[in-house]
Amino acid sequence: MDPRESRGMNDDFRPRLFVDGIRFVLDNASLIAAKTLEHLVLSGAAIGVALAIAVPLGVLLGHAHRGAFLAINVGNVGRALPSLALIAFGLPIFGISFTNVLVALVVLAIPPMLLNTYVAIDGVDADAVGAARGMGMTEGQIVRRVELPLALPLIFAGVRIAAVFVVATATIAAIAGGGGLGDIIVNQASYRLRGVVGASMCVIVLALAVSAALAALQRLVTPPNLRPRVLMLEPTHVPSLASRADPEPGP
């Protein structure tokens, strides 16, 4: 159904809708809570699966200083995939299901994680790695004790970008049976415009909360003396990183 029909072609300024939206959220607190939980479970599952794939692969490639082409191009192609199209492509394969939506979200989450992990590990100071090798550390020890701790802030930045993407896209995924708060937003016929507005506000709060929580976590894992190093990434070499890897809001 076309939203135009139920709303009329030219809605004038209707700020009352925001009040109605908030009232909807308060009146349907249990529905909103259930949908928010669904949203978080779906997003969390997607981020978990993507983490399990992207981070080990990025560490492996970064440690070997190989596959820059792969990591950067996966990053670029990933950005070029419209999420709505991705969800659509999965439908004939998986049907209207949780799996379809999960696959789409994982595919979206992998590129920023892989790119950031690769660049972070690859960019660890060669002197530090050399010194570790000179001390007789095995390759596994070098990865665990030198490269990963130094790369952690940037890896976290990638996870945070991916998480923001996933929470946003999980909203759209409702059209393909993903559940979550998007269920209310795409279902104007059942929930009316105030439901749509209310759920939209909830999604925004949820996205900001997830982003803020991960930012706090990122700050926690970043030793203060490392912060400038992260900021010094050359923007021209890895453009996507320069613009996205450092979502540290200003002061």
Q: Which residues form the interface with another protein (CB under 8 A)?
A: 1-5, 7, 9-15, 17-18, 68-69, 72, 76-77, 79-89, 91-92, 164, 167-169, 171-172, 175-176, 182, 185-186, 193, 196-197, 199-201, 203-204, 207-208, 211, 234-240, 242-244, 247, 249-251
Taking the complex as a whole, the smallest distance from the CB of residue 168 to another protein amounts, in Å, to 4
**Dihedral sign (CA 185, 215, 22, 47):** positive
Spell out the residues 6+ positions from residue 143 whose beta carbon is closer than 8 angstroms to its own. 59, 63, 121
Taking the complex as a whole, the smallest distance from the CB of residue 34 to another protein amounts, in Å, to 18
* Cβ atoms of residues 119 and 245 within 8 Å: yes
Buried b / exposed e over 221-238, threshold 16 CB at 10 Å, is ebeeebeebbeebeeeeb
Nearer to another protein, 14 or 144 (CB): 14
Taking the complex as a whole, the smallest distance from the CB of residue 216 to another protein amounts, in Å, to 14
Nearer to another protein, 76 or 99 (CB): 76
Spell out the residues 6+ positions from residue 180 whose beta carbon is closer than 8 angstroms to its own. 35, 36, 38, 39, 42, 43, 170, 171, 173, 174
User: Using H for helix, E for strand and C for coil, what is the string for 176-194?
Assistant: HCCCCCHHHHCCHHHHHHH
Shortest CA distance to 159 belongs to which of 205, 107, 109, 223? Answer: 109
Nearer to another protein, 92 or 228 (CB): 92
Taking the complex as a whole, the smallest distance from the CB of residue 218 to another protein amounts, in Å, to 13
Structure tokens at 120: 């972070």
Nearer to another protein, 84 or 137 (CB): 84
Nearer to another protein, 16 or 134 (CB): 16
Taking the complex as a whole, the smallest distance from the CB of residue 20 to another protein amounts, in Å, to 9
